[in-house]
Structures are given as structure tokens and as C-alpha cells.
Amino acid sequence: MRYLALIMVCVTVLACSPQQQQSVQEFDNVLIYPKTKLLPEFKLTDQFGDEFGNSQLQGKWTLFFIGYTYCPDICPTTLMDLNRIYPQLQQLSQPVQVVLITADPARDSSERLKEYIGFFNSEFTAVRAEHAELFPFSRALNLVYAVSDSKQNDYLVNHSASLSLVNPAGELQAIIKPDFSAKPAQIDFPQIVKVIDTLIKN
């Protein structure tokens, strides 16, 4: 009987595991890492001039988006969409924060970031650092950027349109990508709420 009970337990685990895996992986344009990656130590500065580091990630889910305040299109629309789903994010069983990383520290001071992010949602966070700190941090999040020509005042910055999701342990959990088959390419923002809720429950 003892062996039979053990076999039944193994069968139950095997039957449940694919179901759980499927529930996490069922989202379009979302890469959920089977093995999370702890972010290396970092020190940024938020819109209030305070330090923003690894400790600010503990105990909450963090949606990171890289952009800049002079961005003509994708940044403001992304922040508006994040603001639109923010009330639903706040209803989840674990806290969620939204953080904009500026890829343009030369023009985006803390004061400018405070004014800019406050226009969309005063509860959002905006962070900055010089490129020596910023570049490896963005790479750790699997986000990239490149300044086209900073010799001109109206230069553009190329950057990822994806969002990085960090879990409450400070580990990179998922990348949420735009649907490039759509014209224009866009992220399914309501789906983000479902992604985080599923991860919380798993």
C-alpha cells in the first residue's frame, strides 16, 4: 500500500506539472524565464534625488521600461497605457511598481524626470544614472539603448520597446514584448495584469 501511495503521488505531480507550466506560458509575446536571474547590485537616482537600488525591488513586482523625456512617440504612449492599467495592478494580491529608466541622462535631470513622470502618474518612479552605470543595468534587464548623435540638442535615442518584469526577490522574471505583427507594433497592456497575477499564483 505504501508503494501504491507513492506511485499515486508521483502520477499526481506529473499530471499537475505540465498544467502549471502551461498556465504560465500561455501569453502571447511574453517570455517568462524558466529560471529567474538575480539582478546585479546597482545604484540609480530617482526623480526626488534619492537612491534607487536593489533594496527598492524587494517585496514588490517591478515593471521596468526604458525611454527618455524627449521621446516623440513610444514613451508617452507606453506611460499612458501603463497608467490606464495601474488601478488593476494595484488590486493584485502583491504590490506592483512602475519604473521608467531614462536612456538620456545628459538631458534628463531628476527635476525633469519628476515633472515628466508626474504628468502620467505621480506614483510611478523615474530613475537615472550615468552611462557607466546605466548601460550594464539595462543589459541585465535585457533592455538596450543607443544614443544616435548627442552633438545635436534634438538628438534621438533608440531604445527597447519591451517591458522587463522583476519579481519581489529582485530577479528578472519575464520580458513583455510588443506584437510586431500589429501595425503599429503594440504591447497587450491588459494582458500584463493577467501575467503578473498568474505568476503570483504560481
* Distance between CA atoms of residues 167 and 165, nearest Å: 7
- Quick: pLDDT tens for 28-59: 999 999 999 999 999 999 999 999 999 999 99
How long, in residues, is the chain?
202
pLDDT at position 188 is: 96
CATH 3.40.190.170 fits 28-201, yes or no: no
Confidence of residue 195 (pLDDT cuts 50, 70, 90): very high
Q: Domain residues of the chain, as ranges? A: 28-201
Q: Give the Cα separation of 34 and 165 in Å (integer).
A: 14
Residues 6+ away with beta carbon under 8 Å from 144: 138, 159, 160
Contact status, residue 10 vs residue 22, Cβ threshold 8 Å? no
Q: Lowest-pLDDT range, 20-29, 104-113, 127-136?
A: 20-29
What value does the mean pLDDT take over residues 81-105? 98
d(CA 14, CA 72): 50
Element (H, E) at 61: strand 61-67
Q: Find the range with the poorest average confidence among 13-17, 92-96, 137-141, 152-156.
A: 13-17
The pLDDT of residue 178 is above 80: yes
